[in-house]
A and B are shown apart, each in its own frame.
Chain A
Amino acid sequence: DAKTTQPPSMDCAEGRAANLPCNHSTISGNEYVYWYRQIHSQGPQYIIHGLKNNETNEMASLIITEDRKSSTLILPHATLRDTAVYYCIVRLTGTASKLTFGTGTRLQVTL
């Protein structure tokens, strides 16, 4: 699985959009980008995933660059409840890969 690089921390004002970047320059053509988040000490929670096209669901939007070397997770209207650690991971689907997580980005949403 390709490695990812994320900033260690970010701040965002409540109500504003939170844009969390992820670099995955060694991604291969059939690897997916997944985003998870971990609120406090809970188990990580799936947010969204994508291969090439931009994706949107009820939680967030995922923008993947045309060369697929980076992506951005967008929380359109961040709330205090979005304060969490966000993990970007890249992996092949259906493989017995050692699915590993980095240290993620700690997003702090403030009033």
Chain B
Amino acid sequence: NAGVTQTPKFRILKIGQSMTLQCTQDMNHNYMYWYRQDPGMGLKLIYYSVGAGITDKGEVPNGYNVSRSTTEDFPLRLELAAPSQTSVYFCACTPGQSVSGANVLTFGAGSRLTVL
């Protein structure tokens, strides 16, 4: 049981390049989230999804796109990378519905992106 797997762990991009950060979970959770964390700051929500085929914007969606074609995968696409997108990106998931009331987020290990 791997939990939440993010790839790549590290990446350096040139300004204007595009790339996709991959996120896969094997817990069959409905809700998935993408956060970014700038140095010394808290987590900011980029996009989230409540199930396959459904996505919605978070606090800072500009410059990013997501898709959710399956329950397991929630890739984050960066189009035309900019230095302001240099950050650590975290993917997370949660069941969404729980009899016990627990709706615990499980996070991936993060993807560190540098745009030069």
Q: Please report A residues at the B interface, Cβ cutoff 8 Å.
A: 32, 34, 36, 41-46, 49, 51, 87, 91, 93-94, 96, 98-104
Q: Which B residue sits closest to A85, measured CB to CB? A: B42
| B23 CB to nearest A CB, Å | 11
Bound CA–CA A87/B43 (angstroms) = 10
Bound CA–CA A43/B35 (angstroms) = 10
Query: Is B98's CB under 8 angstroms from A93's CB?
Result: yes
B103 proximity list for chain A (CB < 8 A): 32, 34, 91, 93-94
Query: Is B45's CB under 8 angstroms from A100's CB?
Result: yes
Residues of chain B from 76 to 116 with CB closer than 8 A to chain A in the complex: 88, 90, 92, 94, 96-98, 101-110, 112
Query: Is A34's CB under 8 angstroms from B104's CB?
Result: yes
Q: Please report B residues at the A interface, Cβ cutoff 8 Å.
A: 4, 31, 33, 35, 41-45, 48, 50, 56, 58-59, 88, 90, 92, 94, 96-98, 101-110, 112
Query: Is B35's CB under 8 angstroms from A101's CB?
Result: yes
Give the dominant DSSP class at A's interface: loop
Query: Is A100's CB under 8 angstroms from B59's CB?
Result: yes
Bound CA–CA A49/B100 (angstroms) = 11
Q: Which A residue sits closest to B58, measured CB to CB? A: A98
Bound CA–CA A36/B108 (angstroms) = 14
Which of B35, B42, B106 has the most chain A CB atoms inside 10 A of its CB? Answer: B42
Q: Which B residue sits closest to A89, measured CB to CB? A: B105
Bound CA–CA A44/B108 (angstroms) = 8
| A109 CB to nearest B CB, Å | 19
Partner among A93, A96, A103 whose Cβ is within 8 Å of the Cβ of B42: A103
| B35 CB to nearest A CB, Å | 7
Query: Is B106's CB under 8 angstroms from A51's CB?
Result: no
Query: Is A101's CB under 8 angstroms from B110's CB?
Result: no
Bound CA–CA A41/B44 (angstroms) = 15
